[in-house]
Amino acid sequence: MPKAKKFDELEVLKKAEEVFNKKGYNGTSMDDLVQATGLSRSSIYDTFGDKHGLFLKALGNYQDSQNSAMEGLLAKTDSYKKKIRTIFDYMINDIVTDKSRKGCMMVNANMELNYVDKEVAQMALTTMENMEQQFYTWIKEGQATGEISKKFPAKGLARNLYNNIMGLRVTGRNRPDYDTLREITKISLSLLDQ
Amino acid sequence: MPKAKKFDELEVLKKAEEVFNKKGYNGTSMDDLVQATGLSRSSIYDTFGDKHGLFLKALGNYQDSQNSAMEGLLAKTDSYKKKIRTIFDYMINDIVTDKSRKGCMMVNANMELNYVDKEVAQMALTTMENMEQQFYTWIKEGQATGEISKKFPAKGLARNLYNNIMGLRVTGRNRPDYDTLREITKISLSLLDQ
DNA sequence: GTAACTTTGGAACGATAATTCCAATTATAC
DNA sequence: GTATAATTGGAATTATCGTTCCAAAGTTAC
């Protein structure tokens, strides 16, 4: 009877995520990954196939973690406006508590590899579309109930919000200052007010 | 009497810029640079020192080009609001006319190298501060003349605008669609309206 | 204690990397 | 035509790269 794998794959992915996020895909060597994960190269190749396979798995896992973390927070309120604000608060908090200010792996990977890696480009596009769709749903409902301003169409507002989040992910690496990011967000979210 | 260098350094930097921007710093080999620039590796090393020196020079030249291009357009109007809109229009146009959708070299370099390259991180920070300062100056003057809304402080609005531009540089790589980017921008700039 | 499997700690392999070196060619000034 | 310098087209050097291989060690089930 074959023995189960001993190491925690999710834990390995988290470690890989961290080093890929700091140094970039091309800037990270297999030696770096061996050191960061604590596995031997044979185990890495056996489990993930190759460097690129590990990278894509780590990136998918990163996005799943982000989504799960936000979903946990979102369950706490029915207000669409508050849900939107919760997402922005989560992003800001993620930025300022990130001591090594390595930023968002999806954004970083997308900027580094968008041109040369179709799979990464597709994941980034899908992530954007999913999040815009979520914002769209909330804004549409919020506009229907009167909670959110109807000054602009829901789709435009949704895309604008996502655009703002992408901005935070970039400017937050230059200057991960809580008050600054909060003010930027306050101004952006004022567009939802009646 | 020493002979002058024969090749056009600015032209070489432009070619280097393009390949670095598509493949990233670490994803670009010296062979790639030889092919892209048309120079031999001896000429590259003699002129730029090393790969990293060429990269920093290309990045600086890229930012100078962006600044020059915008300055040319800005001279055409005295209206602060129009100046701001001109910058956004320039960014959108830059994004949609970029056939290879390689994006902004400063953003790409910053996302790839911010953690490992202090010089790149510093250049990105300086670029952000300079542009925020420029927006701040215009917004402050515009608020004084009544052209721009005083609902939010000038500094906050300036940072919010820069944040939006960073967002465009990321989302514009996923989806370089003119109408979408214009709508996002229209909503963002509505914050300046009375 | 044994069988079966996972994992290790490298070494080996083939390739690519950045940088230096060098003889030859080309270009320019006089 | 000559002197001087720039540039070329690689080769050489040294190192690192991603991936495969392998004997040995460790772990688990029976």
In terms of domains, do A127 and A163 share one?
Answer: yes
Tell me how far CA of residue A121 lies from CA of A129, A131, B35, B170, B174, in angstroms: 12, 16, 26, 11, 7
Kindly report, residue by residue over B50-92, the tens digit of the pLDDT: 999 999 999 999 999 999 999 999 998 889 999 999 999 999 9
ipTM of the complex: 0.93
A137 vs A116: CA distance, rounded Å? 33
Same domain, A29 and A85: no
B87: Cβ–Cβ under 8 A, 6 or more apart, which residues? B70, B74, B165
Per residue in A41-68, pLDDT (tens digit) is: 999 999 999 999 999 999 999 999 999 9
Closest CA–CA distance from residue A6 to any residue of chain B (Å): 32
Asked whether residue A70 is domain-assigned, the answer is: no
Name the strand (E) or helix (H) holding A191: none
**C-alpha to C-alpha distance for B65 and B184, rounded to whole angstroms:** 25
B3 or B129: which carries more pLDDT confidence? B129
- The residue type at B86: T
Rounded Cα–Cα distance for residues A62 and A74 (Å)? 18
Residues B44 and B136 in one domain: no
pLDDT tens-digit series, residues A124-157: 999 999 999 999 999 999 999 999 999 999 999 9
Task: Work out the angle between the directed axes of helices B154-174 and A154-174 (0-180°, nearest 10).
Answer: 100
Query: Are B1 and B89 found together in one domain?
Result: no
CA count, 13 A, side-chain hemisphere, B102: 13
On the question of pLDDT at B112 being above 70, the answer is yes
Tell me: do A98 and A46 sit in the same domain.
no
Mean pLDDT value of segment A12-22: 96
The CA angle B163-A158-B164, to the nearest 5 degrees, is 10
**What would the DSSP string read from start to end of B93-152?**
HHHHH-TT----HHHHHHHHHTTT-HHHHHHHHHHHHHHHHHHHHHHHHHHHHTSS--SS
Q: Among residues A143, A177, A108, which one has the least CA distance to residue B128? A: A177
Same domain, A105 and A159: yes
Q: Both B189 and B137 in a single domain?
A: yes
**Taking a C-beta distance cutoff of 8 angstroms, is the pair A96, A178 a contact?**
yes
CATH value at residue A121: 1.10.357.10
The reply to whether A88 falls in a domain is: yes
A102 vs B101, B108, B115: nearest CB: B115
The pLDDT value given to residue B5: 58
In a domain, A28, yes or no: yes
Q: For residue A72, is it within any domain?
A: no
Whether pLDDT at A2 is above 70:
no
The last residue of one of the domains, among B30, B62, B94, is B62
For the cut 80, the answer to whether the pLDDT of residue A170 exceeds it is: yes
Task: Say how far residue A136 (Cα) sits from the centre of its chain.
Answer: 18
Instruction: Give the list of residues 6+ apart from residue B66 with CB closer than 8 angstroms, or none.
Output: B104, B106
Record: contact A23-B115, CB cut-off 8 A: yes
Residue A141 lies in a domain: yes
- Assigned domain for B68 exists: no
Residue B180 has pLDDT above 50, yes or no: yes
Of A157, A163, A170, the CB nearest to B107: A170
Which of chain C's bases lie under 7 Å from a protein CB? 4-11, 16-23, 27-30
Q: How far is B74 from chain A (nearest CA, A)?
A: 24
Taking the CA of residue B90 and the C1' sugar atom of nucleotide D13, their distance in angstroms comes to 48
Residues B158 and B85 in one domain: yes
Burial grade of A2 (CB within 10 A; 0-12, 13-18, 19 or more): exposed
In this structure, the answer to whether residues B83 and B177 fall within a common structural domain is yes
- Does some domain include residue A148? yes
CA distance A138 to A84: 8
For residue B44, the model assigns a pLDDT of 94
Nearest to B16 by CA among B57, B46, B49, B63: B57
Q: What is the pLDDT of residue B1?
A: 47
CB A44 within 8 A of CB A34: yes
What does the pLDDT read at residue B69? 95
**pLDDT above 80 for A3:** no
Query: In terms of domains, do B56 and B18 share one?
Result: yes
Specify the number of domains making up chain B: 2
Task: Please determine, for residue B95, whether its predicted confidence score (pLDDT) is greater than 70.
Answer: yes
Question: What's the pLDDT band for A8 if we cut at 50, 70, 90?
Answer: confident
Residue A182 and residue A96 share a domain: yes
Per-residue pLDDT, averaged over A80-84, amounts to 97
B37-62 in b/e form (b: 16+ CB < 10 A) is bebeeebbeebbeebeebbbbbbebb
Q: Which residue has tokens 């994006």?
A: B103
The answer to whether the Cβ–Cβ distance between A23 and B160 falls below 8 Å is: no
Structure confidence by residue, pLDDT tens digits, A106-118: 999 999 999 999 9
CATH code (residue B33): 1.10.10.60
Q: Residue A17 is which amino acid? A: E
Q: How does A135-161 read in b/e, with b if 16+ C-beta sit within 10 Å? A: bbebbbebbeeebbbeebebbbbbbbb
Same-domain pairing of B13 and B81: no
The answer to whether residue B45 sits within a structural domain is: yes
Six token digits for residue A53: 């396979």
Cβ of B111 within 8 Å of Cβ of A115? The answer is no
Please, are residues A90 and A69 in contact by the beta-carbon 8 Å criterion? Answer: yes
Domain housing B158: 77-194
Average pLDDT, chain B: 95
pLDDT at B3 over 60: no
What is d(CA A43, CA A60) in angstroms, rounded to the nearest whole number?
A: 20
